[in-house]
Amino acid sequence: MPIAEDPEPRPSEGGEPGGSDPSGAGGKDPFADLVLDDEFVKGAAVTEQSGRTRMLAAQWKHTPPVDPGGRRSVDDGPAAPKRRFGRKPKLQAVDPWGNPRPPKRRGLEWRTPLFAVLTIAVLVAALNIEGLRNWYQGGSAGSSASHTPVPTVAPETAKPTTAPPKVDADQPTVDHPWAGSPAEGWPNGVDAFVLPDAKATGVFSADQVAAQLQLVKDYLTAANLDPQVIAGGRPEAALALLDRAERDQAAAALATPSKENDPTNWFSRFDPREAVQVGGVVKVQGRIGFEGDGDKGVLVHADFSYVYAVRPGPDAAKRAASPAPSAPSASGGPKPTKPAAPGTQDPAARPVGLVLPAADVAGDTWTTRTVVRRVENFRFYDPARYQVNPKKIAFGEGGGSDSANSACDVYDGFYHPQFAQFDPVQQDTPGSRPTGPATDPYDRSKDLVPSDQCGTVSRN
């Protein structure tokens, strides 16, 4: 049996470990360990062009491209249309995303600054409504919106020789309660209570006299400047400073006011249903002095004028139409009733505040003023000879009080000022007509003379 010859060995396919030459020569395959990764591609010495690049290169070899006249990017948006007559086309603006912006309409660039100015004007007007109203009204002649401020006046150091100078007779309002009054330049409240230098007097040392002067100042403040007392409240702080006899008399007057015992001879009080204080400031002018009184001790003199600015309360018109008169005045000085006629009144002002709540009145609501002058003597007895409390106040002889612009013949423990807006009503009301001479309540050069006549005031 014949034996077949062994076949020729197969050429190696490079599958052996380490690889071999596929040609059969027995050599190692040079691409066996080759890895086609990013590093291999980036390190290639020759880069093959894309098919489009080779096509364009072959086309442009015989027909070169035409230069469009400038480089453009996708962010430039579409090319602007060509213009006739050789004008250069204007490229249309695009937003950051390459979208064309709408064209601006010519002639409307002024709107932005105009809107800004109008916005600022509206904000300013909203913050100052009253100022805008006064500006719009123009501030007519004689109105409180354009009055000339009165120069500042220092507290008195001696009795004045003349009355304060005349000022423009402006109609006072809530915003300008001191318009038309010389008291506009007077000190505010306790600033007018300037105490003299204390010195030893009689049996009292300088320190004791200084304490007595301070006690008088505290009483004047509590009786005439306390907002609660001015609003009709009970003057507890002032009563606590009085000695027993004076305190009992004042408390009886508050409990049952009458012509013989009128609480306004001691305290400044308004009925809040009729008159409400404006601003919380009282204008004050006057002086304090002291002297020895022999074996009785020390006598302190106080002469002050108090000016109260008030607006109508909720019942002001009703009470003006039908006041409640009491018996005639017995003492305490004259009570002039009719306020000074205002000068040129602003027709745009708000004369009547009845339609508004008492706690919500406009700044141009008409107001008025009541002027109270008090001349008071305070005695401090020698506690070694008299049964007194040296830390309390006793009244001395003399003195008195005078109120200007307060209804006559009404003694209920309150001042009753008259308002210019209710004048037509009051002129037809019997029983309160002034009969005495006209006086200037700001004239402090004259002594206070008690009188039973109901007079008028030349200014308030």
The predicted-structure confidence for 52-72, as pLDDT tens digits, reads as follows: 888 888 877 777 776 665 555
Identify the band that residue 286 occupies on the pLDDT scale cut at 50, 70 and 90: very high
* 320 within some domain: yes
Distance, C-alpha 157 to centroid of its chain: 34
Question: How high is the pLDDT of residue 78?
Answer: 58
d(CA 327, CA 452): 12
Structural domain boundaries enclosing 168: 129-457
CA distance 308 to 18: 119
Tell me: pLDDT of 288 over 70: yes
The span from the CA of 440 to the CA of 458, in Å, is 5
Any domain includes 168: yes
> What are the tens digits of pLDDT across the range 358-380?
455 778 889 999 999 999 999 99
User: What pLDDT is stored for residue 7 in this prediction?
Assistant: 54
pLDDT value of position 392 = 93
Looking at the domain assignment, is residue 40 inside a domain?
Answer: no
Kindly tell me the burial class for residue 347, based on how many C-beta atoms sit within 10 Å of its own C-beta (0-12, 13-18, 19 or more).
exposed
Q: What is the mean pLDDT of residues 336-361?
A: 42
Q: Which helix (H) or strand (E) holds 439?
A: strand 438-439
Amino acid letter at 171? Q
pTM: 0.63
Structural domain includes residue 228: yes
In a domain, 35, yes or no: no
CA quadruple 125, 129, 131, 136: dihedral, nearest 10: 80
The H or E element that residue 222 is part of is helix 206-224
Place of tokens 């690889």: 19
With a CB cutoff of 8 Å and minimum separation 6, the contacts of 311 are 174, 275, 276, 278, 353, 361, 365, 366, 367, 368
pLDDT score of 364: 83
- In this structure, are residues 228 and 215 in contact, taking their beta carbons and an 8 Å threshold? no
d(CA 51, CA 64): 18
Q: Which of 12-26, 72-86, 245-259 has the highest mean pLDDT?
A: 245-259
Total domains present in the chain? 1
Q: Where are the beta strands (DSSP E) in 172-296?
A: 275-292
The answer to whether residues 436 and 455 touch, using CB atoms and an 8 Å cutoff, is yes
- CA-to-CA distance for 240 and 247, rounded, in angstroms? 8
Highest mean pLDDT out of 157-171, 414-428, 445-459: 157-171
Single-letter residue type at 123:
L
For residues 285-290, give the mean pLDDT.
Answer: 96
Q: Mean pLDDT over all residues of the chain?
A: 77
More confident site: 251 or 295: 251
Contact 400, 266 (CB under 8 A): no
Residue 143 lies in a domain: yes
Cα-trace Rg, the chain: 50
Torsion of Cα atoms, 369 then 371 then 372 then 373, to 10°: 160
Phi, psi for 338 (deg, rounded to 5)? -85, 125
88 compared with 101, residue with greater pLDDT: 101
Task: Output the pLDDT for position 223.
Answer: 96
> Can you give the pLDDT at residue 254?
94
Integer Cα distance of 179 and 149 in angstroms: 8
Could you tell me the pLDDT band of residue 341, with boundaries at 50, 70 and 90? Answer: very low
Q: Which residue did the predictor score with more confidence, 198 or 109? A: 198
When mean pLDDT is compared over 36-40, 231-235, 439-443, the highest value belongs to 231-235
**Higher pLDDT among residues 131 and 123, named by residue:** 123
Is residue 335, in this structure, part of any structural domain at all?
A: yes
- Helix (H), strand (E) at residue 210: helix 206-224
pLDDT at 269 over 60: yes
Per-residue pLDDT band at 84 (split at 50, 70, 90):
low
Over range 294-303, report the average pLDDT: 88
pLDDT in tens, 178-233: 999 999 999 999 999 999 999 999 889 999 999 999 999 999 999 999 999 999 99
Under 8 Å between Cβ of 167 and 182: yes
Ranking 176-185, 326-335, 437-446 by mean pLDDT, the lowest is 326-335
**Has residue 143 got a pLDDT over 80?**
no
Look at residue 21 in the predicted model and tell me its pLDDT.
Answer: 53
In one-letter notation, the amino acid at residue 419 is F
By CB neighbour count within 10 A (0-12 exposed, 13-18 middle, 19+ buried), where does 312 fall? buried
Could you report how far apart the first and last alpha carbons of the chain are, in Å? 161
Kindly tell me the sign of the dihedral angle through the C-alpha atoms of 301, 218, 400, 397.
Answer: negative
Model pLDDT, residue 293: 82
What pLDDT score was predicted for residue 350?
Answer: 42
Instruction: Tell how strand 438-439 and strand 368-381 pair up.
Output: unpaired
Instruction: Name the token pair of 435.
Output: 């009969």
Place of tokens 């001015």: 230
164 pLDDT exceeds 60?
yes
d(CA 286, CA 159): 8
- What's at 215, amino acid-wise? L
Is the model's pLDDT at 137 over the cut of 50? no
Q: Is the pLDDT of residue 343 over 70?
A: no
The residue count for the chain? 460
Residue 375: its pLDDT value, please? 95
Average pLDDT estimate for 23-38: 66
Cα separations in angstroms, 119 against 66, 113, 114, 116: 56, 10, 9, 5
**What is the pLDDT, as a whole number, of residue 278?**
94
Structure tokens at 14: 């490079």
Torsion of CA 334, 338, 340, 341, to 10 degrees: -160
**Model confidence at 413: pLDDT above 90:** yes
Residue 56 within a domain: no
Residue in the structure block whose two tokens are 């007079």: 455
pLDDT score for 88: 59
